[in-house]
Chain A
Amino acid sequence: MASKPDITSPPPVSTTGEAVILPYPETAIARRFFPPMPKPTHPAAVAAQKFASAVLPTAFMLAFLLAFWTLACGPDSALPSPSKVWEESHEVIMHPLKGVEFHGIMPEIQDGGDVGIGAHIMKSLGRVLKGYTLAAIVGVALGMLVGTNKYAFRALDPLFQVLRTVPPLAWLPISLAIFQQAQPSAIFLIFITAIWPIIMNTAVGVQNIPQQYRNVAKVLALNPMEYFVRIVLPACVPHMFTGLRIGVGMSWLAIVAAEMVQGGTGIGFFIWDSYNSSLLSDTIVALVWIGMVGFALDRIVGAIGRLIARNG
Chain B
Amino acid sequence: MKQRSYLALEGVTVEFPTKNGLFCALDRIDLNIEKGQFVALIGHSGCGKSTLLNAVAGLNRPTRGVIFLDGDVIDRPGPDRAVVFQDHSLLPWLTVEENVALAVSKTANGKSKAEQKDWVQHNLELVQMGHAAKKRPGEISGGMKQRVGIARAIAMQPRVLLMDEPFGALDALTRAALQDVVMELQARLNNTVLMITHDVDEAVLLSDRVVMMTNGPAARIGQDLAVDLPRPRDRLSVIDLPNYAHARSEIIHFLHERYRNPAQAA
Contacts and interface: CB of A to CB of B under 8 A. Distances in A.
B211 interface: no
Q: How large is the interface on A (under 10, 10 to 19, 20 to 34, 35 or more residues)?
A: 10 to 19
B59 A216 contact: no
Given A213-B91, A230-B102, A234-B93, A218 B59 contact: yes
Q: How large is the interface on B (under 10, 10 to 19, 20 to 34, 35 or more residues)?
A: 10 to 19
Contacts of A215: 59, 77, 83, 85, 89
- Interface SS of A by simple majority: helix
A219 B93 contact: no
A180 B198 CA distance: 71
Contacts of B76: 221
B93 A220 contact: no
B82 A219 contact: yes
B106 interface: yes
A231 interface: yes
A222 interface: yes
Contacts of A3: none
A14 interface: no
B106 A220 contact: yes
B79 A220 contact: yes
Nearest to B57: A219
Contacts of A40: none
A221 B77 contact: yes
Q: Identify the interface centre among B78, B87, B89: most chain A CB within 10 Å of its CB.
A: B89
A219 B91 contact: no
Contact of A221 (B78, B83, B93): B78
Interface in A184-223: 212-213, 215-216, 218-222
A88 to B, nearest CB: 53
Contact of B85 (A212, A230, A231): A212
B106 A222 contact: yes
A212 B58 CA distance: 14
Interface string A221-238: 110000000110011010
B81 interface: yes
6 contacts: A215-B59, A215-B85, A230-B91, A230-B102, A234-B91, A235-B93
Given A218-B77, A221-B78, A309-B93, 7 more contacts: A218-B59, A219-B77, A219-B81, A220-B102, A221-B106, A222-B106, A234-B93
